[in-house]
Structure 1
Amino acid sequence: MTLPWLRMLVASAASMVLLGTSAVATAAAPDKDSVAASVHTAGRVKDGGDVLRYSWPGVYFEGRIRGTGVGIVLDDPAADYDVQVDGATVATLVTPGKATHWVNGLRDGVHTVRLVKRNDTPWATSAFGGFVAAPGGAVLARPTARSRQIEFVGDSLTAGYGNLSASRDCTGEQVARTTNADVSYAALTARRLRADYQINAYSGRGMVRNYNGGSPEENYRTFYDRALLNVPGDVWQNPGTWRPRLVVVHLGTNDFSTPLNPGEPWTDESLAAAYRSAYSGFLQKLRTRYGPGTTLLAVGAGPFAGHVEQVVQERTGAGDRRVRYWRLDDTNLDYTGCHWHYSAQDHRLLADRLTSFLGDLPIRW
């Protein structure tokens, strides 16, 4: 069915909130050239030596420390983060700025720590300066990378836009605070499959047409290759460790969820044709990048489901045996997130359904 998905620009706040057993302090950053070596991440980051820079939602960093406290070195005026220690969320950092944020009072011993970027802030660049141990402690060797990798390509529905909201009516501030990519269907599915993942999702962008025809000079494909979304021409350099065996593409809501406006260069028919052509080309780009062993899963929903299915059928007929179609089942979804987006409950249901579907595919993990 066609759903009245809406989207508005998200305004960042200049405040910071800490929840749980956390305190704020300043401390020296780790030695230069140590950040990338001391943490595990699968996200699209640019190594600046003493910091890692990034833009996409859901980017996470994992480390190990010994001692009674851990500091998180950040420089980010726009995004929100969750801090997890030994699997439990102990702090939420709201637009943390440039500082080291401490979680103290831990049992003296070895702990795993995870920092995850909650929301999409494509207008800003985030910077992470590593984990530091409290006095008397030490930063230990980073956790081992997972053997499975999944890349998720999408828009606000994949980013977890407003998924923690108690109301569909949200201000920009409320959208920012209630968006959490870490409880999106993408992150949930990856964790259930014990996979590292990227959530390369950009709210409001479509395959060829953005929400309500906005910013017609660009679309999702304009930004896909970037690590830093607000840097024109930026290109993420794969360090050679990112080799996903599954790529999930969920794009089309913004192309078709709003009527064409006067002055847009489309008819309904030409938009559909352009969408199918661009979608096929994007799948070919992924196939060229990741090779014949990677499964490409194209997601169809609402008014664009038939177009996605047609693209998959054409590629399958041309000999691509590892492209598959998944018709998103929206049964019992309540769409009570901000502006008719998936709620946290919806994301859990979709993760259940997607995980089940993937279990029947012959993915070469």
Structure 2
Amino acid sequence: MRVPLLLLIVGVSEVFSGHFLQYYHTVVSVPGRGLPEYTSVGYVDGIEIRQYSSDSRRVVPVAPWMERVEPEYWERETQISRGHEALSLNSARSEMRYLNQSGGFHSFQWMYGCELRDDGSARGYAQLGYDGKDFIILDLEQSIFIPLTDQAKVTAQKLNTLTEHVGVKVKDYLENGCIGWLKKYTEYGKEELERRVRPEVKVLDQNVDGVSKLHCQVYGFYPRDVDVKWQKNGIDVPTYEAKHVFPNSDGTYQIRVTVEVPAEDREGHSCHVDHASLDQTLTVKWEPQSSSNTLWIVIGVLAGVIAIAAAGFIIWRKSSGMKTNYAQTSTSDKDGSSTSSNT
């Protein structure tokens, strides 16, 4: 049997390598059904580390390694978060009044964070979202807020003219305080955050009415950031499906990237994977027979498993005298009366 995949090591990895810290403060106009009026959640490298809500009114650890932080930290951050809650609620209500939105469900979100790359470079970002859409963004170079919609112009102007110089303070936090906390958090969770797991890659194809879908399945990798693309003879091939990264139960991730090509035009296609665990880009070539053979092997294995399970079930059913039809079953209550139901 031919080797199903041909693996080559080419190129240089360009995937983000470092750590990032993110915060999301969210206000909703209609709380309920488990959704508090105000929530604040912190993430490091996409992993939730802490949370606060208007229901609990306490900052609590989420990631296990955050429990190593000193107790004073939680009390201090709780007091700060209560202040952020009051400010966020007031800002959201003011925005709703300005937009003449006295009722209905509306959301107001303040998002900010920073990242520190392995080469020592750092950057930050801050922006406001309203009803799930971009609203205002902070220009870090000028320390001013830029409106992203016509409705946001007045709010941006107010922020830029406040005597407290909000933009300057936020910029200072992102470039100093945020980076400082990111370093502390990554030290606490070093064992988890700095692990590197190489991805496994498989290339399969699916032929339908003369059109071939080439699937590049990348799985079992960590950290989450990955770049997967198709090329034909060294030239990028555009993909028309969204690239979604999904988590696995073991803490790793997976992604599938698909392109559609004429069935007779598959030759020369290859999948290129860029990840922090790789020193160089990993390339997996599509091969005319091996890809379809791999698919049939998978189908054959599944069919064999199903056949064995079915045979085992039949044997068990015969040995236990189990009936093939379903009869009414009855249950009795305390008074001795019974009710019947069809299963």
What range describes the TM-score normalised by the shorter chain of this pair?
A: under 0.3
Which protein has greater RCO, CA pairs closer than 8 Å, 6+ apart? Answer: 1
- Structure in which a larger fraction of residues adopt helix: 2
- Structure in which a larger fraction of residues adopt strand: 2
Report the TM-score, using the length of structure 2 for normalisation. 0.21
Report the TM-score, using the length of structure 1 for normalisation. 0.20
